[in-house]
């Protein structure tokens, strides 16, 4: 081991204060650099949080990322920095509530345009563990919103009908939950479920007439299946979930649509094959009297076990 030369020890003994001050200067120099670096880091963190806060505040208020981005771009120069930092660098995302065309189970859209505010999910043969859309507003319930050209339905969920060169498709699911919707009108048709529960719905006219049959108890597995697709909060012109590939059914284990506020067109569900369907605690109506049936469970909906509980007709006007 290297030792300190005797002459150095002698210098330390003769001038201890000078040695101490030498070490003190080195220590203070090092600490000053550390304190400066910490102070600069804290300043940059503060600036980042200040810049981020308008965007985060708008998201907390229930605005979708695209609407929050538009407000910030229109209102402040800081907003541009926020969008670059939190939105553009990451790209549009289903989880963050961005509109676009999503090919399940991808979180990134295959098509995205700031001019198109429709949320569309294309399901295929790859099973999705869970698909959840909740706490959103759709259609003309959103100020300045209009339905896409050629579309009349605000919410459209299900497979597609057979056509020229196209084989009919269905959405297969273990459990479909439709709850806390607010719709001008609601229609469930051309669907089969082993267990069908229609409970605690209020509507300005209703027709509940499904047909008994022998649908099997269905479950969607798939082994090492795809990740779940979950989004909460946002505003859209339309929500459309479909199985668009000829002869290929979409597959979802747990499919939840909850707290969706709509206006400007019907909420339609068709061509679904499910183990269980729960339609719970929804409000439907246009305020035009009970003779017009806004809430419809059509005869083309087939069940094996049916629960029909406390569904009431009450006057419900458009929001």
* pLDDT tens digits, 217-231: 999 987 767 778 999
Q: How do residues 157-182 score in pLDDT, each as one tens digit?
A: 999 999 999 999 999 999 999 999 99
Q: How far apart are CA 147 and CA 185, in angstroms?
A: 16
CB 226 within 8 A of CB 129: yes
Query: Predicted confidence band at 91 (pLDDT cuts at 50, 70, 90)?
Result: confident
- pLDDT for res 150: 87
- pLDDT for res 26: 75
Q: How do residues 61-86 score in pLDDT, each as one tens digit?
A: 555 555 565 555 554 433 334 444 44
Cα dist from 293 to 192, 215, 256, 270, 316, whole Å? 21, 26, 25, 17, 12
For residue 100, report the phi and psi dihedrals to the nearest 5 degrees.
135, 180
Contacts 24+ apart (CB under 8 A), 116-120: 116/148, 116/237, 117/66, 117/145, 117/235, 117/236, 117/237, 118/148, 118/236, 118/237, 118/238, 118/239, 118/240, 119/234, 119/236, 119/238, 119/239, 119/240, 120/238, 120/239, 120/240, 120/241, 120/242
Q: How far apart are CA 193 and CA 213, in angstroms?
A: 9
Query: Looking at 6-15, 154-163, 184-193, which range is the least confident one?
Result: 6-15
Q: How far apart are CA 75 and CA 209, in angstroms?
A: 52
CB 268 within 8 A of CB 138: no
- pLDDT for res 89: 44
- pLDDT for res 79: 39
Pick from 73, 75, 99: which is nearest to 84 by CA? 73
Q: Give every CB contact of residue 235 below 8 A, 6+ residues apart in sequence.
A: 63, 64, 67, 117, 136, 137, 138, 142, 145
Look at residue 102 and tell me whether its pLDDT is greater than 50. yes
Q: How far apart are CA 71 and CA 63, in angstroms?
A: 10
Segment 126-151 shows an average pLDDT of 90
Mean pLDDT score of the chain:
84
């Amino acid at each position: 081991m290297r030792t300190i030369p005797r002459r150095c020890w002698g210098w330390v003994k003769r001038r201890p204060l000078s040695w101490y001050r030498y070490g003190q200067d080195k220590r203070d120099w090092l600490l000053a650099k550390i304190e400066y670096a910490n102070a600069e880091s804290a300043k940059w963190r503060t600036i980042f949080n200040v810049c981020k806060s308008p965007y985060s505040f708008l998201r907390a208020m229930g605005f979708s990322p695209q609407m929050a981005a538009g407000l910030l771009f229109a209102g402040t120069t800081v907003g541009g920095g926020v969008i670059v930092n939190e939105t553009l660098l990451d790209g549009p995302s289903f989880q963050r509530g961005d509109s676009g065309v999503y090919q399940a189970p991808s979180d990134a859209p295959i098509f995205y345009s700031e001019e198109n505010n429709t949320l569309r999910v294309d399901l295929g043969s790859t099973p999705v563990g869970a698909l959840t859309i909740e706490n959103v507003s759709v259609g003309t319930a959103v100020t300045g919103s209009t339905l896409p050209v050629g579309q009349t339905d605000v919410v459209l969920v299900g497979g597609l009908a057979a056509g020229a060169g196209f084989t009919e498709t269905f959405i297969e699911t273990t459990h479909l939950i439709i709850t806390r919707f607010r719709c001008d009108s609601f229609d469930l048709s051309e669907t089969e479920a082993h267990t069908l529960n229609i409970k605690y719905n209020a509507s300005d006219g209703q027709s509940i007439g499904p047909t008994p049959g022998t649908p099997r108890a269905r479950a969607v597995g798939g082994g090492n299946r795809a990740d779940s697709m979950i989004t909460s909060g946002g505003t859209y012109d339309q929500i459309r979930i479909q199985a668009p590939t000829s002869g290929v059914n979409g597959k979802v284990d747990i499919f939840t649509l909850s707290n969706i506020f709509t206006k400007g067109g019907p909420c339609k569900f068709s061509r679904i094959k499910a183990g269980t369907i729960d339609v719970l605690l929804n409000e439907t109506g246009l305020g035009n009297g009970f003779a017009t049936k806004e809430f419809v469970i059509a005869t083309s909906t087939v069940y094996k076990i049916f629960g029909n509980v406390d569904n009431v007709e009450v006057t419900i006007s458009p929001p």
